[in-house]
Amino acid sequence: MKFQSRKIQFENVKKNKLLGILDFPAAIEPKAYIIISHCFTCTKQTITTARLSRELAQAGFAVLRFDFTGLGDSEGIFADTHFRSMLCDIESAAKFLSMHYAPASILIGHSMGGTASLAATQNSCAALGDIQKIITLASPATPAHVLHHFGGALALLQRGENAHIKVAGQNYLVKPHFIKDVVSYNMDEQMQHCSLSIMAVRAGNDSLVEARAADRIIDYTQGGSLLCQIDGADHLFSERDHGALLLSYIIDWLS
CATH number at residue 98: 3.40.50.1820
For residue 157, tell me if it sits in a domain: no
Mean predicted confidence (pLDDT) in 143-149 = 93
- Per the model's pLDDT, the better-predicted residue between 169 and 151 turns out to be 151
For residue 170, tell me if it sits in a domain: no
For residue 55, tell me if it sits in a domain: yes
Q: What percent of the chain has pLDDT over 70?
A: 100
Query: Residue 139 sits in which domain range?
Result: 3-143+187-254
pLDDT of amino acid 117: 99
Dihedral, CA of residue 199, residue 204, residue 210 and residue 212, to nearest 10: 50
How many domains is the chain built from? 1
Q: At what angle do helices 176-184 and 83-100 cross, to 10 degrees?
A: 80
CA 60, chain centre distance (Å): 21
Q: What does the alpha-carbon distance between residue 47 and residue 52 come to, in Å, rounded to a whole number?
A: 8
For residue 164, tell me if it sits in a domain: no
Q: Is the pLDDT of residue 148 over 90?
A: no
Mean predicted confidence (pLDDT) in 180-209 = 97
pLDDT digits (tens, 9 = 90+) for 16-68: 999 999 999 999 999 999 999 999 999 999 999 999 999 999 999 999 999 99
Q: Is the pLDDT of residue 149 over 90?
A: no
Mean predicted confidence (pLDDT) in 210-228 = 96
Q: Which of 83, 58, 57, 59 is nearest to 69 (CA)?
A: 83
103 close to 109: Cβ distance less than 8 angstroms = no
> In what helix (H) or strand (E) does residue 92 lie, and over which residues does it extend?
helix 83-100
